[in-house]
Amino acid sequence: MNNSFIKLKERTDKSDFNDINNLNNACIDYDKIHLKLEIDYKLSNGEKYGNNMNKINEFMFYDDNKLVGYAGICDFGGDEIEVNGMVHPEYRRRGIFTRLFSLVKDEFNKRDSKGMLLLSDNNSIGGISFIKRITDDYHHSEYDMNLDMDVIHKENFDNLVFRKAAKEDITKIAGENFEFINDNDIDGILFDSTYVLETGNVIIGRVRLEIVDNIGGIYGLEILPEYRGKGYGRELLIRSINKLKESKVNAINLQVETKNNNALNLYKSCGFKVNYTMDYYILKK
């Protein structure tokens, strides 16, 4: 590796995306595991916001012009950042990821974030082993779930309105008692496909829908606490599924914490099945 170098960026562009995706595919083919890199989300953000190096989120190790190591930071708001990464099978045990993670940790220490979540497919012996050398503080696990696309989903409430969020909804959503929402979610409403569920012109639920490579994703689905237990969560999920199916997606997926039994049972009852499990460990300052 005489011509190796590390490239640092705040956001990815299409060229970076292709390099990371190629490395991702090589690692998945070799290891038979899953990686949660969020590169589609990052590319979308890079195209919207540009790259001005206020923060470093992308850490790329090249050998000549070939990307052989990658670490990435995802900041969805809140107190923790998420970190994931990979090294090409032919370049392992050369200290590449250790060098990248050292830079990630330096960046983490510059930020206000209180913790760093390190994640790995729980079937990845190498990934879990590396994380446990950094921290043995287990945080939580998530199931990645895929929908049985043959299941028919019937909508049950005629008095509810499901629509895309508009600019005038930002103040309403920010002022409501949504538990799982942060400043990044609020800022992204105009850019992302955020939908709301209404009854009597009152917003009672929200969800973000994305389509990447003809695969639909359901994120941040939530009903306000005072409206739970009335079937509105199921209705929001069903309408989200049907909205994505209108776009002729090939698949629909979502993630849920393994201990969130209420949400897990809801998703299973609507035709979702567990695909894999992602384990999260936390490194605190």
For 226-234, the CB contacts below 8 A with 24+ separation are 226/177, 227/199, 231/156, 231/157, 232/157, 232/160, 232/197, 232/204, 232/205, 233/205, 233/263, 233/266, 234/156, 234/266, 234/269, 234/270
Could you tell me if 49 and 162 lie in one domain? no
Number of domains in the chain: 2
Please tell me the distance from the alpha carbon of residue 42 to that of residue 25, in angstroms, as a whole number. 17
Least confident residue range of 33-42, 99-108, 117-126, 230-239: 33-42
Strand partners, 176: none
| Residue of higher predicted confidence among 131 and 175 | 131
* CATH code assigned at 204: 3.40.630.30
Query: 188 and 97 share a domain?
Result: no
Q: Is position 285 within any domain?
A: no
Q: Average pLDDT in the 65-78 region? A: 92
Total-model pTM = 0.86
What is the average pLDDT score of the chain? 90
187 and 166 in a common domain: yes
Region 29-45: mean pLDDT is: 86
Give residue 181's pLDDT band: very low, low, confident or very high (50, 70, 90).
Answer: low
Residue 222's nearest CA partner among 204, 244, 243 is 204
- Whether 142 maps to a domain, the answer reads no
- Domain assignment present for residue 139? The answer is no
Pair 185, 245 in one domain: yes
Same domain, 228 and 182: yes
- 88 and 165 housed in the same domain: no
* Domain endpoint, select from 78, 113, 134: 134
Tell me whether residue 283 is in a domain: no
Same structural domain for residues 115 and 189? Answer: no
Inform me whether the pLDDT recorded for 45 exceeds 90: no
My answer on whether 115 and 84 are in the same domain is yes
What pLDDT digit, counting tens, does each position of 4-17 carry? Answer: 999 999 999 999 99
Question: With contact defined as beta carbons under 8 Å apart, do 108 and 72 qualify?
Answer: no
User: 119 lies in which domain range?
Assistant: 4-134
* pLDDT at 102 exceeding the cut of 90: yes
Give residues with Cβ within 8 angstroms of 175, minimum separation 6.
none
Output the pLDDT for position 183: 57
